[in-house]
Structure 1
Amino acid sequence: MTDLQKQLNKQVANFQVLNVKLHHFHWYVKGPNFFTLHAKFEELYEMVNEYYDSFAERLLTIGGKPATKMQTYLELSSISETSTYDSLEMVDELIKDFKLVVLELKELTVLAQDHEDEQTADLAITTAEALEKHIWMLRAFLG
């Protein structure tokens, strides 16, 4: 597997771990922020699921094999599982996770451009842009 394929697969793993984490947040959020965050977490896990599929399909397109097992996702992912049940900690954890993914997507962009793979670079750039917007909105939510 090439470096580019490895980095794409890392993002496949990141998005699947985020998907599971966002479902946890969606199901277990409580308190005065319930209605706002319950809906937001659902919106975000639907978005993340689309990224998960897009990155896996891009990896297949360039001859790679995306991970498909939970154990492998946890081994490859930069994102850790969650243990929080506090709504504000959920948002804070999500901001940190999104920031980490954005950083890795910027590295992926450079790697893809070095390999003259503009399609992968474009996927990484547009995904990072969307995540940066969510980081801004989640920070605003926290005040």
Structure 2
Amino acid sequence: MANQTEVQKLLNELVATYGVFNIKLYQHHFYVKGPHFFTLHEKFEELYDEVTEQFDELAERLIAIGGKPYATLGEFLEYSTIKEAPYNGKETAEEMVSSTISDYKIIDERLQKGIILTGEAGDDSTQDLLIGYKSGVDKTIWMLQAFLGKNPLDA
């Protein structure tokens, strides 16, 4: 049976992960080029706006249940389940989308773990929040996969 401390730890990991992911989305937004520039430039902005809102909600929920969210870049990098990837000047728009899908899949897995953990801990409010996020992540993965001409569950 999970306890509130485990829920706090998982939420803090998500805070760190969303912090790193937000910067990666900004990076793609800044550097995307090619025939899909206008579409992807706007899409990456939409995604980082959504991630920023969820990042804030996760940190606030963590505080509401007695936790202390990570709040430095060093903590984000140390505790994130995704890694930063400095732009090398050679990444294509399709590679940016693929990278974003990979990161969303990692987040999706952590959200699923959090849904189970919060259920075991009896934290219905946090579980509801994570279920909503997971539903959105699943939809985003599908749409980004479709952009690449793939099925939602393709690797």
Would you say same fold, with TM above 0.5?
A: yes
Q: 2:83 aligns with which of 80, 83, 101?
A: 80
Identity %: 47
Q: 2:140 aligns with which of 116, 134, 137?
A: 134
In the alignment, does 2:101 pair up with 1:98?
A: no
Q: 2:121 aligns with which of 95, 115, 118?
A: 115
Q: CA–CA distance in 2 between the matches of 1:10 and 1:118?
A: 19
Q: CA–CA distance in 2 between the matches of 1:134 and 1:106?
A: 16
Q: CA–CA distance in 2 between the matches of 1:122 and 1:39?
A: 29
- Who is 1:21 aligned against? 24
What number of residue pairs does the alignment pair up? 143
CA RMSD of aligned residues (A): 1.0
Q: CA–CA distance in 2 between the matches of 1:80 and 1:33?
A: 25
Q: Any gaps of 5 or more consecutive residues in structure 2?
A: 150-155
Q: CA–CA distance in 2 between the matches of 1:8 and 1:46?
A: 19
Matching residue's letter, 1:43: E
Deviation at 1:89, TM superposition (A): 0.7
**Structure holding more helix per residue:** 1
TM, length-normalised to structure 1: 0.97
Question: 1:78-114 CA deviation, whole Å, 9 max, x = no partner?
Answer: 1111234321111001101101111110110111111
- Who is 1:41 aligned against? 44
TM, length-normalised to structure 2: 0.90
